[in-house]
Structures are given as structure tokens and as C-alpha cells.
Amino acid sequence: MSRARIMMALAGAAAAWCAGPLAVVHAAQAAAGGAVWGKAIEVPGLGALNAGGTALVVSVSCASAGSCTAGGYYQGGHHHGQAFVVSQRRGRWGSAIRVPGTVTLNTGGSAGVNAVSCASAGNCVAGGYYGSRLGTRGFVVSELSGRWGRAIAVPGLATLTVGGWSEVISVSCALRRYCAVGGHYGYQRQKPVQGFVATEQNGVWGQAIEVPGLGALNRGGVAGVRSVSCASAGNCAAVGGYADSHGHAQGFVASEQHGVWGQAIKVPGLSALNTGGVAGVVSVSCASAGNCAAGGRYLDGHGHAQGFVVSERHGVWHQAIKVPGLGALNTGGDAGVRSVSCASPWTCAAGGYYAKRSGQLHYQGFVTGS
């Protein structure tokens, strides 16, 4: 399998987006107990920033009712990509701002926010990438008590990349000033692409490290973290994909307990499902320490993409299973889980997409719960 195809497989189903003015929308609680969605609005202030005419909200996180944060990218002057954040306070969206500090970091003219996570109102972390003369680098930036600090390069990533590139893909905050990020980094001259994690404790970011054990799994040279989730300080999970020695894309899970990351393992049971050799985990959610759920996609023996879910209970990852009932819906042979969320160790929901063939191919969304 080609390097490009493996990267696409690890990323799951991809969608290309082109946008002008961006919109945000919020839901308010209705008197009858349902959620009433308000009208979408253009992100305040983003139009003035977006001189190049292309912008996108990539991630949003809400800490409480009326207190949310969103992030993404836009094209500024000279069509350079820039990273922005925008915050909602007491139900009102403020003006989008360029991420503080990226004007200095982003000498390569390519920056954006990939993920945002808020532990409480006004206390968030955003992560993404910026361009430099050495390549694309991953950054993190923190908001404390409603004020954004300056973006910094993820500590240790420069040492890992050594003349290559890196990117923060996912962020999760368990508490104020206790967060984790994950992503990937690579090298020039066709050297391996690897997955990394880094954690913040009491407001101080530790050194980024290669996901323990992932190097041994990643014999095909392409790996990355797609999603992280933290249930409490020092208790997180990271998931993603890698290429095995046969060049097949596979999924992995790794758990952090009491501040120490354990070894990445192949998703139990996924090999039996993934007879087509293309799989990856794209989302994870942890309700409490050692109790998580994750999901993604795999290719079966007929060349059809299918969705799967896998659960961790009391620190042990169990067997991955095909999403019940999804096969009957997926008559077009292209399905996958895109997002998982757990409210408690035994109560989770997953959502994604499937292809329905009725004369021609149509894509539909699905949801499922436990």
C-alpha cells in the first residue's frame, strides 16, 4: 500500500471543505426539556480577518451553558493561513482573534487550530500547527480565566522531528491546567511518521514523547494519534492508526494511568475484522479512569469499509465489534464511526456515516448507543 493511501486510511473518511464566512450556532434548553437550536451566524470578526476568503471552524468545546470556544483557520493577507479562536460568554459570541503568539511562530505562513477543549468556562486549551523554516510545527495555547496566553511550540517536538514536521490533532482537558494533546510528527527524506502525546500538569507542559510501544507496531513507517480523552488528571487514552510490516493500516489504543503512559496495543479483535488491511481509530471518550470507548473503520474481505466500536473496562481493552445493525444499512459498502462520547462507563453513544445504494450512492448518518 502506498504511503499516501496509508495516511488517508489512518485519517478515516476525509471531507474536503471550502468556505467563505463561517457560521456558529448554539442550542438553548427549551421549557419542554428539548434543545432549541438558534440561528447560525457568521463568526463575529472573522470576516475582517479572512482577507483571503477561505476560513473554517474546525473544533468547538463547551464547558457550560452559554460558555463555548471554537477554533480553526483563515487566510489573511498574502493568502497566508492563520489560526484563530473565538469565545462565547453568557450566550454571546465575542470577536474572533488570531491566536496570540502565532504571528511570531508562523513564519511559514500556514497555521490553524485543529482542536479545542474547555475544562470550565474561560479555561480552555487549543492546539494546531504553524509553519516555520524547518517545516510545520505543533503548538498549544491556553486560556485562563477568559484570557488567552501566547501560543508555544509543544515542548520536545523539535527534538523528535529533527528537521521534519509535526501537528497537534487532538486536545482533551480533564481539569483546569490539566490537559493532554496528541498528534503526529514526521521527518524529511522518507523517514517514519510517528504518533506523539504530551501532557500539561498544573499549567506546565511536559515534553512530547513518542507513544510508548507504537514504534514497535509501526513497522510500515506511518502512524499518528487521532484522538485523546482525559477522564481525570493523569488518566487519559489516546487512539489512532499505524502501518504494520505488510503495509496494512491498523488501529491502536494506549492508556495513561496516574500520569504514566502505558504501551500502545493493537485494538483487540480488530485484525479479525480488518481482513482488507485498512483500519484506524478516529475517536475516543473516557467517562472515568480506565473506562473508555473508541470507534473507527476497517475494510472487510469484500473491500467494504465498515464501522467498529471497542470498549475499555477497568483498564482492560475488550474485543472490537462491528457496529450492530450498521451492515444492513451500509448497502453501498462505505461506513465508519466518526465520533464517540461517554456519559458514564456503561453509557456511550457513537455516530458516523454509511453509504446507501439505491440506483446511485447516497451517504447517510447513523447513531448508536450503549
pLDDT at res. 45: 97
What CA–CA distance (Å, rounded) separates 341 from 284?
A: 7
In a 13 Å sphere around the CA of 22, the CA atoms on its Cβ side amount to: 30
Q: What percent of the chain is modeled with pLDDT above 90?
A: 80
Cβ-contact 111, 82 below 8 angstroms:
yes
pLDDT at res. 14: 35
Report the 10 Å Cβ neighbour count for 271: 17
Query: Rounded to the nearest 5 degrees, what angle is found at the Cα of 82, between the Cα atoms of 80 and 88?
Result: 150
Cβ-contact 32, 264 below 8 angstroms:
no
- Encoded amino acid at 257, one letter: Q
Instruction: Note the helical H segments in the chain.
Output: 3-11, 46-49, 102-105, 157-161, 214-217, 270-273, 326-329
What CA–CA distance (Å, rounded) separates 293 from 301?
A: 25
Q: In this model, does residue 86 exceed pLDDT 80? A: yes
pLDDT at res. 28: 47
Strands (E), 145-247: 147-148, 152-153, 165-175, 178-186, 194-201, 204-205, 209-210, 223-232, 235-243
Report the 10 Å Cβ neighbour count for 191: 13
Q: In this model, does residue 19 exceed pLDDT 80? A: no
State the average pLDDT over residues 88-97. Answer: 95
Q: In this model, does residue 35 exceed pLDDT 50? A: yes
pLDDT band at residue 188, thresholds of 50, 70 and 90? low
User: The pTM is what?
Assistant: 0.90
